[in-house]
Structure 1
Amino acid sequence: MPAIVLIGAQWGDEGKGKATDLLGSRVDYVVKFNGGNNAGHTVVVGNEKYALHLLPSGILTEGVTPVIANGVVVDLEVLFHELEALSARGVDVSKLQVSANAHVITQYHRTLDKVTERFLGKRQIGTTGRGIGPAYADKINRVGIRIQDLFDENILRQKVEGALDMKNHMLVKIYNRRAIHVDEIVDDLLSYAERLRPMVKDTVLELNRALDDDKTVLFEGGQATMLDIDHGTYPFVTSSNATSGGAVTGSGVAPNRIDRVIAVVKAYTTRVGAGPFPTELFDESGEFLRSAGFEFGTTTGRPRRTGWYDAPIARYTARINGVTDFVLTKLDVLTGLDEIPVCVAYEVDGVRHDEVPVSQSDFHHAKPIYEIFPGWKEDITGARTFDDLPKNAQDYVLAVEGMSGSRISAIGVGPGRDAIVVRHDLID
């Protein structure tokens, strides 16, 4: 049975939750391996809509074991808020497992995230202010707090004292904020310990044993390829590895156990926050995509920047992730357009670039070179086979497939759980 990595192919918000849900009934484990509550998955089940931020999407599927692995940073307040909200709606959350090695987001991480972003002024990155970056920075600086530390008060206190020693100097002397007391943090974290204890597992051992026992494990990435700390549009990126390689380090499952990499890509492009975006639209076409696609952040509510499909980015994603299958989402949003442009290359200072430029400066100044495809007027939300799609919609899918570096195995044609066209099986 396979180990499958599911990642975003653009700048996030591609509909990874829907793709996870498509696989859910055939998957035994769904693993969140990176990020924190700085991203959201919106999943529609029947008439119910669920907005998840920290929890794996698989928590909505009966029989699936959801796992928050070691590569995640966990805001405990958010974790229990989401669990309580789901329980109130009748969702069974009792199978959730949390890695003992996952790092914890504290109050001082959230505070530092907000004040440092404001301090940057025009150079702001566009973070969500959830404390994600500062928590990962502490992890790398080896002053982080891990889940397992909550069960030894002496160790927890020592670690919080060490972390706050420098941070309070920064808060008071640089940012003109009040110092944070050690007891304030320790007491807050300890208040979650007993509720958390039953969930905490050696998830590395659990996941490897699951694969040994022929279970199917799905690794669900937060954010997306172009927000990866190493391979994204740095510095306008997240603080973790959102690519398929992050699934390996973020879960403790070896690379030779990964069977398939599925990348979710929208039929157009969006991003939230600052940074380069070659196909970004500032006209009525951009507003059309934003309105028709309801392009507002699940976590922040911020309106997303919108643009046309970018084939060089899809090829880049296919290359660095080893993509075996694309899931093309929100094809229905393009319905009604007379013409649909697709970016096939870039022009930088008079020179054509068929691939994403390695220089961030070049990418920032890249102008899209478009190929224009005819649109369609027919409602496609009821399509369940490829032949159900209008001829122009079929031609659009086949064209972007040929440009994108891997096959398009499924196509989202509406927000509903079953509003999807499957061309190739994503597991077999």
Structure 2
Amino acid sequence: MPALIVIGAQWGDEGKGKATDQLGTDVDYVVKFNGGNNAGHTIVVDGEKFALHLIPAGALTDTCTPVIGGGVVVDLDVLFQEVEELEARGIDMSKLRVASTAHIIPSYNRTLDKVTERFLGNRKIGTTGRGIGPTYADKMNRIGLRIQDLFDAPILRQKVEAALDQKNNLLVKVFNSRAADADIVTAELLKYADRIKPLVANVPNLLNDALDRGETVVFEGGQATMLDVDHGTYPFVTSSSATAGGACTGSGVGPTRIDRVVGVSKAYITRVGEGPFPTELFDESGDWLRERGGEFGVTTGRPRRCGWYDAVIARYATRVNSLTDLVLTKLDVLSTLDQIPVCVAYEIDGVRHDEMPADQTSFHHAKPIYEYFPGWQEDITAVRSFEDLPQNAQDYVHAIEKLSGVRVSSIGVGPGREQTIVRHPLV
């Protein structure tokens, strides 16, 4: 399977980085195709924890080339800080490649992101304040800055000035903030030009050539299905295409070259930020899941909202991504529960809905309809074979498969790279 998409099937934080990392030496390229440093992956290798925010998980495998695609927005400060941290821990980052067409997050967009959220008050989206949304807006408004602009200083200066013609009016007149200076912003960005130039690549050519040679390319999604700007719980979404279709637009590899689409889901569900969440738990069960699962953001440290597995969302993710496989993570977190609820449908205004409602208002008022599955008391963190799981744990996985409409190919039973049960190899 030379082309494989790994996508979040919930609201993010499902363990996509670990799922990608586990493919290990079977993968030649790992491509981040959307988002920026507003989401992170935690990967544990031989007991050592790595927190990645912008750089793809493939960086931790010696034989793999990590690639940042054109659909990503890049904070240059964060990029090189992360490079330095990884190099200090013995990771070779010379193989990293960055698309010349990827957009840059300038300092004025970080400012604008933060003041906009404060201005919205109770209507806030719950962004990370890292300038992601404003930078994608600039991209669509055609006033964005791209990596390739760093190598033409006069053009970069013109583009910064054009963007600030709009931005400074907002910052000063609407948000009562200080105007940004075009010369200072340009100088901030140009200091990275020489450093990033050796990493810049024509990513569509790089990846398509690799596929022509029969090499394996994994497309690693940031955020997740329910945060997709088109298919998620809009407006409480990210600003990019986080579903499988985004892998094509964010990398320059066409859809007919994709062989397998892997969704990643927790054995329960979480989300951060604002927005509707039908199975959210506001009682001690939610606190228990949060503490036991370590549900705090890798990038932000924010506590995640926790709930029981939502099979309606799982079926929706299967459809909009054309999932072929599901990686189920954190099954070990559910150990010791007497019974495990799973949302199988919604009740909306007295009517049962087995599928995702078509409008946001209905979804906001959806109440979960649960089925209950018997739990297990055994510690499963050392289990490496599906048949060695407690029978109730096996039954739970089978129920998830049936309710989600896709086979469970891999099961996470702990944070470590090795704490995985493989039922069907992904590559």
TM superposition score normalised by structure 1:
0.99
Query: Percent of aligned positions with the same letter in both sequences?
Result: 70
Aligned to 1:169: 169
Match of 2:388 in 1: 388
| 1:23 counterpart residue number | 23
Letter paired with 1:361: T
Which SS does the other structure have where 1:134 is aligned? helix
Structure 1 residue 187, shift from structure 2 partner: 0.3
Q: How far apart are the structure 1 equivalents of 2:330 and 2:25?
A: 22
Name the counterpart of 1:349.
Answer: 349
Q: Which moved more, 1:163-172 or 1:78-87?
A: 163-172
Alpha-carbon separation, structure 1, partners of 2:53 and 2:254: 26
Describe the superposition over 1:377-419 as per-residue Cα deviations: whole angstroms up to 9, x where unpaired.
1000011010110011001000111000110000000111100
Matches within 5 A, 1:208-357: 208-357=208-357
Give the counterpart letter for 1:415 in structure 2.
P
Structure 2 Cα separation of the partners of residues 336 and 106 of structure 1: 48
Mapped to 1, the partners of 2:90 and 2:27 lie a distance apart of: 21
Runs of 4+ in 1 over 4 A off after TM superposition: none
- Give 1:91's aligned residue: 91
Secondary structure, aligned partner of 2:34: coil
Q: Pairwise mapping of residues 36-185 of structure 1 onto structure 2 (< 5 A)?
A: 36-185=36-185
Secondary structure of the 1:276 match is coil
Distance in 2 (alpha carbons) for counterparts of 1:169 and 1:242: 31
Q: Cα deviation per residue 1:125-171 (whole Å; 9 max; x = unaligned)? A: 00000000000000000000000000000100000000001111111
- After superposition, give the CA deviation of every residue in 1:225-280 in whole Å (9 maximum; x if it has no partner): 00000000000000000000000000000000000000000000000000010000
- What CA distance in whole angstroms lies between the structure 1 residues aligned with 2:100 and 2:416? 36
Runs of 5+ in structure 1 lacking a partner? none
Q: Provide the C-alpha distance between the structure 1 equivalents of 2:368 and 2:25, rounded to a whole number of angstroms.
A: 40
Aligned to 1:420: 420
Counterpart AA for 1:278: P
How far apart are 1:4 and its partner, in Å?
0.3
Q: Secondary structure at the match of 2:23?
A: helix
Q: Deviations over 1:180-208 (max 9, x none)?
A: 10011000000000000000010110000
Q: CA separation in 2, counterparts of 1:407 and 1:363?
A: 26
- For residues 276-308 of structure 1, give each alpha carbon's deviation from its aligned partner in whole angstroms, at most 9, with x where no partner exists: 100000011101100000000001000000000
TM-score (norm 2): 1.00
Write the letter of the residue equivalent to 2:289: L
- Aligned residue in 1 for 2:195: 195
Distance in 1 of aligned mates of 2:179 and 2:361:
39
Following the alignment from structure 1 to structure 2, what is the Cα–Cα distance between the partners of residues 279 and 174?
Answer: 38
CA distance in 2 between partners of 1:221 and 1:207 (Å): 16
Letter in structure 2 aligned against 1:277:
F
Count of paired positions: 427
1-side partners of 2:88 and 2:423: how far apart? 37
Q: Tell me the distance in 2 between the aligned counterparts of 1:299 and 1:142.
A: 28
AA matched with 1:254: G
Q: Give 1:391's aligned amino acid.
A: Q
Q: SS at the partner of 2:26?
A: coil
Q: SS where residue 25 of structure 1 aligns?
A: helix
**Separation (CA, whole Å) in 1 of partners of 2:162 and 2:417:** 47
Q: How does 1:338-377 map to 2 (within 5 A)?
A: 338-377=338-377
CA offsets 1:69-97 (integer angstroms, 9 cap, x no match): 10000000000000000000111111000
Name the counterpart of 2:397.
397
Task: Quote the offset at 1:51 in angstroms.
Answer: 0.4
Counterpart Cα distance in 2 of 1:378 and 1:169: 61
Q: SS where residue 66 of structure 2 aligns?
A: strand
Q: Deviations over 1:109-132 (max 9, x none)?
A: 100000001100100000000000
**Equivalent position SS for 2:43:** strand
Paired residue secondary structure (1:219): strand
Q: Which amino acid aligns with 2:191?
A: S
Distance in 1 (CA, whole Å) between partners of 2:303 and 2:53 is 17
Query: C-alpha separation between the residues in 2 aligned to 1:402 and 1:409?
Result: 13
SS at match of 1:51: strand
Structure 1 residue 2: Cα displacement: 1.5
Distance in 2 (CA, whole Å) between partners of 1:104 and 1:13 is 24
Deviation at 1:24, TM superposition (A): 2.2
